[in-house]
Amino acid sequence: MTLDAAIADASRAALEFDDARGWLERARLKPLEPFAAEVWATDPSYTQILLVRHRARGWVPPGGTVESGETPRSAATRELLEESGVSGELLQTPAAVTVRSYRADWSPTLGLTYVAVIGRDEPLSGESGQPPRWFNLAEEWDSAFPEDRSRIRAYLHRLAAEHAVGTR
């Protein structure tokens, strides 16, 4: 179930980074490492991103490992709630699929990224030592994955433009 769901969402993701779909096709031929799932949680104006202060990775979107028997989508929903204290409905189309190593001594992992639109009036809470915080997209934030800043900004700007066209 987990692999089938990951393959389906990877094929539907709006963006692909790191040849993730090719990596997944090659990786399917051997036992797979755990998948990762994260959420780009934004406010209704698409100008803010909710990040969590990870002890080693800096400010990152809420996310983590997809547990056995869990779909990447349900893992993303669970991680958002665990790490930020808020729940949100994920948009239908996954935002991105990527491959990255979360630690130097770990194998590369397929990651699926989803988007949730959440009101900023929702109270934030999170895991001990990993506070969540809203950032304006124009702000810089320290992260082990600096390329995420431009990826998140570009995608949320695209969503904002789509939303503006849809409301005219």
pTM, full prediction: 0.86
- Indicate the number of domains in the chain: 1
pLDDT digits (tens, 9 = 90+) for 116-128: 999 999 899 988 8
- The phi, psi pair for 106, rounded to 5°, reads -105, 150
pLDDT band at 151 (very low <50, low <70, confident <90, very high): very high
Which of 11-15, 112-116, 130-134, 156-160 has the least mean pLDDT? 11-15
Q: At 10, which CATH number?
A: 3.90.79.10
Whole-number Å distance between alpha carbons of 71 and 1 = 7
Say what the pLDDT of residue 163 is.
83
pLDDT band with cut points at 50, 70 and 90 for residue 100: confident
pLDDT at 167: 58
Q: In angstroms, what CA-CA distances link 15 with 10, 72, 107, 123, 132?
A: 9, 16, 22, 30, 25
Q: Which domain holds residue 55?
A: 2-166
